[in-house]
Amino acid sequence: MAGGDKIDIFPGEHWYGASRCDPRVVDLYSRHYSSIRSNKNKGDWLRSGITAPGEQIVLLSSDSRALFVWLKQKYSADDQAGVNCAVFRNEGPFLSSMLIEEAEGIAWARWPGERLYTYVDPGEIKSKNPGCCFKKCGWKTVKVNGETYRSQRGLIVLEKMTFDT
């Protein structure tokens, strides 16, 4: 999917497809902690978009107060495989867990059977349970030899498989 392409979302859901360069998308992304690591600014994102290279689905909530970005790349710096929730930000009234579950369905419609994963920076999250809204939806902390796996940047990795509930 090209950066400006839209996707159709079934009526009644809270998400619709948006461009990675949409000013509302850029505005929400600029307040997400992951945007700080970028050497770009709003002008750059408006021109080139907020996503890294790869297949993507950019979702904006019906009230334009929540953003969800799925990104499927050929290569991952820390060998994660599947479809990455690259950004999730909810500033609106909808429950985050409900938005996540709807976004999962959209990802699996596009990439059936793929593992979903996301990175959480516990230092940037106010909750004492980083990733809590994802965990409520059945996402699990990735463990290696019984220990919480950390990415090269020290981020916690959460995952969900299609058979999880």
Domain locations in the chain as residue ranges? 15-116
pTM of the complete model: 0.82
Phi, psi of 92 (to 5 degrees): -105, -170
Given a cut of 70, is residue 8 above it in pLDDT? no
The domain defined by 15-116 folds into: Aminopeptidase (3.40.630)
Terminal alpha carbon distance of the chain: 28
Q: How much is the pLDDT for 143?
A: 93
Q: Residue 142 — very low, low, confident or very high, per pLDDT cuts 50/70/90? A: very high
Instruction: Report how far residue 37's alpha carbon sits from residue 22's, in angstroms, rounded to the nearest whole number.
Output: 20
Given a cut of 60, is residue 10 above it in pLDDT? no
Residue ranges of E strands in 12-142: 15-17, 55-61, 66-72, 83-90, 116-120, 140-141
Given a cut of 80, is residue 122 above it in pLDDT? yes
